[in-house]
Structure 1
Amino acid sequence: MILSACALDSSSQKESSAPEKKGNTESTSVKSTEVKEYKATNLAALPEKAKARKDLFIAGISAPGGVFLPYFYENGWDGNVTDPMFAPLVNLDKEGKSVGILAEKWDVSDDQLTYTFHLRKGLKFSDGSPLTADDVAFTLTLLHDPAYAGYQDISLAAIKGGKEYKEGKATSIEGIKVIDKETIEITTEKVNAKSLLLLGGQVLSKAYYGKDYQYGKLDYLKELYPKPLGAGPYKFVKYVAGQEVRYEANENYYAGKPKTKNLIFKVIDTSTSLQLFETGELDYAGFSADDDTVEQLKSLGFANIQVGPVNDFGFIYVNNSRPQFKDKEVRQALIYGLDRQKIVDVKFKGYGEVANVPVSKVSWAYDDEGINKYEFNVEKAKELLDKAGWKVGKDGIREKDGKQFVIRYLTRTAEDPIIPIAKENYQDIGIKFEPEIMDFNALVAKLNDKDYDLAAVSTSQILDPSDPVEEFATNNPNNAAGYSNPKVDELIQKGLNTLDIEKRKGIYHDLYKELNDNPPVILIHYRQSAKAVSGQIQGLNPDNYTGISASLPNISIKK
């Protein structure tokens, strides 16, 4: 539910609306973590508009808001806009493992509390000014300013002295130490597996963004939102609201000037992205996968296509703070009593799977061994509801303590396939199901106020397995489910208290088992997407962690 970058894949913003296929048509769907690739078969079929581009790559983007400064934007598409311009110290590779970008390497102390980053030699921002450890220190200090109210919660890294600086009790942050222009040492007060990415984020120029900095006053930065300066592979040229963001290759990029000189993120309506790709307006686009879309893309001849899993999952919030949902038997019954496979089949038409673990299937932490799959079982659901004291009344609706079991379900679309399926399924086990359609902001407001029974959502892009489960901690302020389980609290913390991936795997497996037995939410689906790249584009390799941003410097156009 966090506003985060959308990996420049319109499939994350667009649900499939293709009609269900009839007859004995062979499905090209994929399962699990398999990625299916279809190579271009006829480059001569390239649209003339695409052929005419010799040094320009165009990708679609939905709705940037014009705040082009990392850590300060509220619109996830603005995050996509900033990625080509602002390089981080550390990023994730296609497997979700850490890899150095501006940092050549880093050391972690034996107690896992001190991080020493070694920057590459000769780093420069796009204007040619030097990028040094002072810029890293400035960036981290800015995030501790009391006026900072952006999405990045740097307090999670627990840098020594950070709290004192934010409270005005210190004029600098004790745990940030610049050793020399290429070395910075950062000391934290607690071990956190996510600290490396928190500390190693995108770097802001102190000379540019810090020249007017005054403690507690960050409004001056608003004038710089539309004039970004970073150290990424591309530099900003112009933004035409509602039309495009234009870039050109950064000759000062540490890895060398990108192969393709010009880059445009074209503002599009996702409902027209397939048409724009077909006519050559776009070189890259992403779609919700279904047989019709995949077959249509294949028929073009000039497209290289990838069909594979998306790094998120869909689920239904259950308001655990309401009396009718406090018993785990009731929540288990809601899962047993809902035909999730039918929902997935209707919604994704062969390009989705039922989710049973709260992490994506592409994550290194995914493990469903020993997990109850909660296969659709009406009799088991009835048995659990009986056990929890919900008895069937005269009108067929279950009652307890004089109250009927009525569920009000919040969703954003009247075409939500969950509505008819859940209505029928839950009626069969004695529960009345009443849907309520509302816009995204209204739904989020009701979740935050815990003013709901059930609500349909999807996670944002999952960078770390802790991301989707942290909110189930009792004291997490974002615990929209109102869930509380001491064992889960302990395992969530343990999962962050070591940097050893193998140890973390075991901890998350134990956590998944506990969340499976005592479920806070109803897990629904994993889904597939289709990504299409014009056949003349070489070097573009979309992945589940950085979208297309990591491969932008390597793009070239076949002559």
Structure 2
Amino acid sequence: MRSTRKLGPLLATIFTLLTLTLAACGANTTSSTASGPKSGGQVIDGLFEEPDSMLPELSVETFANMAEAAFWAPLLYGDNTGIIHEALASAVPTAANGGVSSDLKTYTVHLKTGLKWSDGTPLTADDVAFTLNLIKNPDYGAKLQAGEFKNIASVDTPDPTTVVIHLTKPDVAFLALALTDPLAFAPLPKAIYGSLTPASIAKSDNAFWPKVTSGPFTITDRQKSDHITGKRNPNYFQAPKPYLDQITFKIIPDQNTLLTALQSGAVDTAWFLDINKLETYKAIPNYTVVYDKVPVSFEALYFNLTNPFLSDPKVRQAITKAIDTKSLSTNIWKGIATPTCDDGGGTFAHDASLIPCYTLDPAAAKALLQGDGYTMGSDGYFTKGGKTLELRYSTTAGKAYREQSELLVQDQLKQIGIKVDIINFPADTFFGTVLADYTKYDMAEFANSLTYDPDNHTQWGCDQFLPNGFNISHWCNQDAQAQITKEQTSAAQSDRTTAFHQLYRDILADNPVMWYYVYPDIACHNNKVGNYAPSAIGTSETWNIWDWYRS
């Protein structure tokens, strides 16, 4: 998440290209058919979670962002190798083409000419500026990259195809984090949303079913908890694409049901599949399994430091000594998940020298708690001040590997005298309301990764506590904040790498999070679906949905 999840890769110095290939790109090569691309037909995609919003920046759900990619066109988009391309923009802004100022505070975007909304009306710089200012407004409720948009000082539109964005402070990652992919930003039609108050938009019918969009498809039908159907947008800027006449996202929030749908041919494609069913997916006739050979998605357990027990660094340290991360990756992921000690996997920020970052020592964990004033009760759990050391462990419901890890961790923490209550939620509730309120969780497990830049200030910045950012750990460390400032304001990749490495060491020293492992995302597709090439980053499965076709 953030997110939910998804995000990941590289951005070299902004003065060279601002776009580099993802070093850890998975083996998701483009699927093809003998006849090559052709127009017509439909694809039914099995969507594991119900999107909680269909408007930019109003969701941290991966599956909402994936669905948005079918209906909204961004200024820029990233491919499955980590390269950023122009979409509505006529070119990727760089220092060389005048799109990025030397002080990293001004970004200029030129739009393609003749852009239209799905209803045929002009899409102009005025719409882009309106949307930037809308998302910047705290009443809108931006969730994913709110901090990026708060850094906007002003937006100018000198002509209908030019947008000039002025920032209050330098931000080397602004292009990658705030302007790339619809999960971060896509223009909204001012003619429709301009008459609404920012606070009312998230609650409007448009959040469930936007009628005027800009992407390859327009929504023609949506039934809550069942499906979202879209038909080809005749005014799409890449016309005659998309190749497909229709795309349907079938909501199937159960992995067993999703497997049955693949086996019966009821769905053509599905992503974020269950590792426990990998061999079964491989056995489905006329379907192909693809997954990241070099993963960038990471699973982690976040500690909520507003909890009195977890505010104690010795309790957090004891937990890291009690949880066997190797057993999680080996027993659950069958050896294809690997250790990590940071959230920069696959990027220049990653620090492999930190591995291994934890020492498994349950006896030392118990001694640490005893030395911290905890007393073992007759029930086998520690107490302090008359209160049992009891914590809630929460994640998304219905995901088998997480349920397995919860049970393992529950048992491992019981061995050192910590009582764990497992309380899971539907994904839209977990990411939409639970992780938005510090009182509703103690320890939260979910997957994440970065976008096209390893900047992670919304996760760890001292000014990113809920609801201003996504610092769900409520952790503030002054040295860590200094490193975040350095990586955000430096154009030199070597300087940013040094800052990230120190930030990771600060995190490991204080344990606001416990890194579990990095793992590959698994997808399966009907062999008749061409150009199906899920990405380890960005909008994941649907990054190139306009290129999908059916043979």
Question: Which is higher, the Rg of structure 1 or of structure 2?
Answer: 1
Post-superposition shift, 1:325?
4.5
**Aligned counterpart for 1:99 among listed residues 80, 85, 102:** 85
Matched-pair contact (CA < 8 Å) for 1:4–1:79: no
2:443 maps to 455
Post-superposition shift, 1:499?
4.8
Equivalent-residue separation in structure 2 for 1:38 and 1:132 (angstroms): 35
- 3-state DSSP of counterpart to 2:132: helix
What is the identity, as a one-letter code, of the residue corresponding to 2:204? Answer: K
Mean Cα displacement is larger for which, 258-267 or 403-412?
403-412
Equivalent-residue separation in structure 1 for 2:533 and 2:349 (angstroms): 23
- 3-state DSSP of counterpart to 2:301: strand
Matched-pair contact (CA < 8 Å) for 2:299–2:447: yes
Post-superposition shift, 1:224?
4.4
Matched-pair contact (CA < 8 Å) for 1:314–1:459: yes
Post-superposition shift, 1:284?
0.7
Matched-pair contact (CA < 8 Å) for 2:381–2:414: no
2:69 maps to 83
Post-superposition shift, 1:385?
4.8
Equivalent-residue separation in structure 1 for 2:240 and 2:33 (angstroms): 31
Change (3 A) 1:320 1:148: closer
Post-superposition shift, 1:423?
5.0
1:369 maps to 353
**Aligned counterpart for 1:347 among listed residues 332, 352, 359:** 332
Equivalent-residue separation in structure 1 for 2:306 and 2:45 (angstroms): 44
Matched-pair contact (CA < 8 Å) for 1:193–1:497: yes
Matched-pair contact (CA < 8 Å) for 1:365–1:465: no
- 3-state DSSP of counterpart to 1:88: coil
- 3-state DSSP of counterpart to 2:70: coil
Q: Structure 1 residue 542 and structure 2 residue 534: aligned?
A: yes
1:250 maps to 233
Change (3 A) 1:443 1:489: same
Equivalent-residue separation in structure 2 for 1:477 and 1:550 (angstroms): 30
- 3-state DSSP of counterpart to 1:317: strand
Alignment of 1:292-371 (within 5 A): 293-308=277-292, 311-321=296-306, 324-326=309-311, 328-359=313-344, 361-371=345-355
1:168 maps to none
Gaps of 5+ in 2: 8-22, 94-98
**Aligned counterpart for 1:265 among listed residues 249, 265, 284:** 249
Matched-pair contact (CA < 8 Å) for 1:472–1:520: no
Equivalent-residue separation in structure 2 for 1:59 and 1:467 (angstroms): 31
Matched-pair contact (CA < 8 Å) for 1:233–1:253: yes
Post-superposition shift, 1:61?
2.2
What is the identity, as a one-letter code, of the residue corresponding to 1:551? Answer: N
Alignment of 1:114-513 (within 5 A): 114-145=106-137, 147-151=139-143, 154=146, 156-158=148-150, 161=153, 175-196=154-175, 197-199=177-179, 201-210=185-194, 213=195, 218=200, 222=204, 224-225=206-207, 226-258=209-241, 259-271=243-255, 272-290=257-275, 293-308=277-292, 311-321=296-306, 324-326=309-311, 328-359=313-344, 361-381=345-365, 384-385=368-369, 388-390=371-373, 406-411=389-394, 416-418=403-405, 420-426=407-413, 428-429=415-416, 431-439=417-425, 441=429, 450-451=438-439, 454-460=442-448, 462-463=450-451, 470-478=458-466, 479-513=471-505
Mean Cα displacement is larger for which, 407-416 or 548-557?
407-416
Change (3 A) 1:420 1:477: closer
Matched-pair contact (CA < 8 Å) for 1:145–1:215: no
Post-superposition shift, 1:397?
6.4
- 3-state DSSP of counterpart to 1:281: coil
CA RMSD in angstroms comes to: 4.0
| 1:56-93 deviation digits (Å, cap 9, x = unpaired) | 12212245468543345687644433321211112223
Equivalent-residue separation in structure 2 for 1:306 and 1:220 (angstroms): 35
Change (3 A) 1:450 1:82: closer
2:19 maps to none
Equivalent-residue separation in structure 1 for 2:513 and 2:197 (angstroms): 42
Mean Cα displacement is larger for which, 56-65 or 408-417?
408-417
Post-superposition shift, 1:498?
3.2
1:172 maps to none
Change (3 A) 1:268 1:310: farther
Equivalent-residue separation in structure 1 for 2:530 and 2:325 (angstroms): 40
Matched-pair contact (CA < 8 Å) for 1:160–1:188: yes
Matched-pair contact (CA < 8 Å) for 2:73–2:214: yes
**Larger RCO, structure (CA 8 Å, separation 6 or more):** 2
Post-superposition shift, 1:101?
1.2
Matched-pair contact (CA < 8 Å) for 2:3–2:431: no
Equivalent-residue separation in structure 1 for 2:258 and 2:229 (angstroms): 19
* Percent of matched pairs sharing the same residue: 21
Alignment of 1:43-62 (within 5 A): 55-62=41-48
Matched-pair contact (CA < 8 Å) for 2:328–2:405: yes
What is the identity, as a one-letter code, of the residue corresponding to 1:556? Answer: Y
1:551 maps to 544
Change (3 A) 1:467 1:251: same
Change (3 A) 1:6 1:283: farther
Q: Structure 1 residue 519 and structure 2 residue 503: aligned?
A: no
Post-superposition shift, 1:527?
2.7
Change (3 A) 1:404 1:355: farther
Change (3 A) 1:125 1:299: same
Q: How many residues align?
A: 506
Equivalent-residue separation in structure 1 for 2:137 and 2:358 (angstroms): 47
Equivalent-residue separation in structure 2 for 1:325 and 1:332 (angstroms): 10
Change (3 A) 1:277 1:393: closer
TM norm structure 2: 0.78
What is the identity, as a one-letter code, of the residue corresponding to 1:339? Answer: D
Post-superposition shift, 1:102?
1.1
Post-superposition shift, 1:108?
0.6
Equivalent-residue separation in structure 1 for 2:29 and 2:57 (angstroms): 37
| 1:478-505 deviation digits (Å, cap 9, x = unpaired) | 3443433211121123222235544323
Change (3 A) 1:75 1:333: closer
